[in-house]
Structure 1
């Protein structure tokens, strides 16, 4: 069993309105040393894959097809083997 931890964020060239709102709010509340904010989505998937490479390939396909808008977003993921019960 493998667990995939997936992080999806806007590409650096795309304006992230939620991150800008958070950054501006932080500045207004006195947290003016915050240089940048990255807002994103987080997913966890458990996979019964043959091996770590197969799990990574499946997660990459899932991200491309449904978890990330590849025109505007980028993603990265970590895969860890879970202890079998």
Structure 2
């Protein structure tokens, strides 16, 4: 089992990214971590929750964030994909 927490953190430009932090229910000491974000215009709401949970169930801490300008994260130019 895993626990999912709503978190946010500040990035360049004083904007905040919103994320879900997945942690194993019985963490012990230092744990390996993985940072996740959806490709291009995707957000956390687009259904990769089970992948982040699988990482946590395997003993990782997983941080899955919405990219700047997308989803719940800050950004002045909303939904702009600039590869």
TM-score range, shorter chain: 0.3 to 0.5
Going by fraction, where is strand more abundant, 1 or 2?
A: 2
If asked which structure has higher relative contact order (CA below 8 Å, sep 6+), I would say 1
**As a proportion of its length, which structure holds more helix?**
1
Q: TM-score, normalised by structure 2?
A: 0.35
> Could you say which structure has the larger radius of gyration?
1
**Could you state the TM-score of these two structures normalised by the residue count of structure 1?**
0.35
